[in-house]
Amino acid sequence: MKIRNIRFFKLDSGQAFAELALLLPVFSLLIVGSAEIARLAYASIEVSNAARAGVQYGAQSHITALDISGMQTAALNDASNVKTISATASNFCSCSNGTAITCANASTTCTARILLYVQVSTTATVNPTFHIPTLPSTYKLQGYAAMRVEQ
């Protein structure tokens, strides 16, 4: 009886190796795809957080709200891991009673409280490490944040 079992195992001794050879490319593709998706998700989170960092800097006071380059620098410094990031910052005014105003004529047009807002938009272009033929060769990531300035 023991001799039969030994012969049976000797006949299929290469089966596991053949299965590994067939499935290894599939497992490799899954691992590479997962790593690429994780890298793009990380870059997307960085771009969104950079916009929030820039707007948080600008919303501290009326002085920082006018510092457009400071808001852009704060956004770019927050996403230093993303090489191709760019930031655009601006501010705008609103009247608390709903009257349409601009910041230049706010004091003469608005009879209620003047509200100052800051906004930052960030964009980055990310190239995948491994190009898969059916997927895009570049991904454009965008972030946006707006916040009212503290009074």
Region for residue 98 given its phi and psi (left: phi exceeds 0; alpha: psi -120 to 50; beta: otherwise): left
Q: What is the pLDDT of residue 55?
A: 97
Question: Which regions of 43-101 does DSSP assign to beta strands (E)?
Answer: 86-95
Q: What is the mean pLDDT of residues 118-124?
A: 96
Q: What is the pLDDT of residue 15?
A: 81
Name the nearest CA neighbour of 87 among 116, 56, 47.
47
Q: Can you give the residue ranges of every domain in the chain?
A: 2-148
Q: What is the pLDDT of residue 9?
A: 56
Q: pLDDT tens across 38-49, in order?
A: 999 999 999 999
Q: What is the mean pLDDT of residues 122-142?
A: 90
At 74, is the pLDDT very low, low, confident or very high (cuts 50, 70, 90)?
A: very high
Asked if 148 and 124 count as a contact pair (C-beta separation under 8 A), the reply is no
Query: Which comes out higher in pLDDT, residue 6 or 135?
Result: 135
Name the nearest CA neighbour of 46 among 117, 130, 150, 139.
139
Q: What is the pLDDT of residue 65?
A: 92
Locate 108 and state its tokens: 């003469």
Quote the mean pLDDT of the chain: 88
Q: Is the pLDDT of residue 1 over 60?
A: no
